[in-house]
Each structure stands twice: as structure tokens, then as C-alpha cells.
Amino acid sequence: MNGGAKRVLSWIPIFLPPIVTIPWVVVLAPLKLAEDIFSIPSALAASALFTLVLAAVKKKHLPKRWVILPLLSWIYECLPITLPGPIDEFLAIGGSGMVTFWAWAKKEHLPGK
């Protein structure tokens, strides 16, 4: 047991998404099938967004609950599945990006915090 000590997010897990995503992209990129089932820019963008949100949580700019949607988006974009066309990238990354931006704007800049 940790004696009731509060857990603090360190900087190492914050940068794990790109560290995991880049080798994953390198493994999947040479596959001919990868063009149809995997979007490399989307996986990298989801990784960057997830890292950004983790850093914002660490610096207390966002509450911890706002990590869930970028985490799910990152996992989805790293899986070798995709919908036809760019719709899944728009929905996954755009949606989690807009929700994250809204949470930050609401907390930092809108009246009635």
C-alpha cells in the first residue's frame, strides 16, 4: 500500500504515446495492406493530441476526466481498422481535439469557471 499518498503523473508516461506510436507506424507502414486499413498521419496526430492532453493534466490546465476521449481516439487510430474515406479521422481526432479545446477554453477563458 502507498499509505494514502496522492499519485502524481510524471513526465515519462506523458511522452509514451509517441514512443509507442512511432515504432508501431514503422512496423505497419511497409505492409501493402496498411494503406487500406491504417492511416499513419492519423495515428501520429492522435498520439500528439493525447500527449498534449496528458501534459495539460499534469500542469493542472485540464481535469483528469478529459483524458478519456483522446486516449480512446489514440487507441482507435493505432488499431489496423478504418472506415472508408477520411470520415473516421475527422470524427476521432477532430472530435477529441474540439472537446479538449472546449474543456480548456471553458476552464481558462470563459466566464463562470
Asked if residues 21 and 44 have their Cβ atoms less than 8 Å apart, the reply is yes
Q: By CB neighbour count within 10 A (0-12 exposed, 13-18 middle, 19+ buried), where does 63 fall?
A: exposed
Q: What is the pTM of this model?
A: 0.77
Q: What are 74-96's pLDDT values in tens digits?
A: 888 888 776 766 677 677 777 77
The grid coordinates of residue 85 equal: 474515406
Q: pLDDT tens digit string along 5-18?
A: 677 778 888 899 99
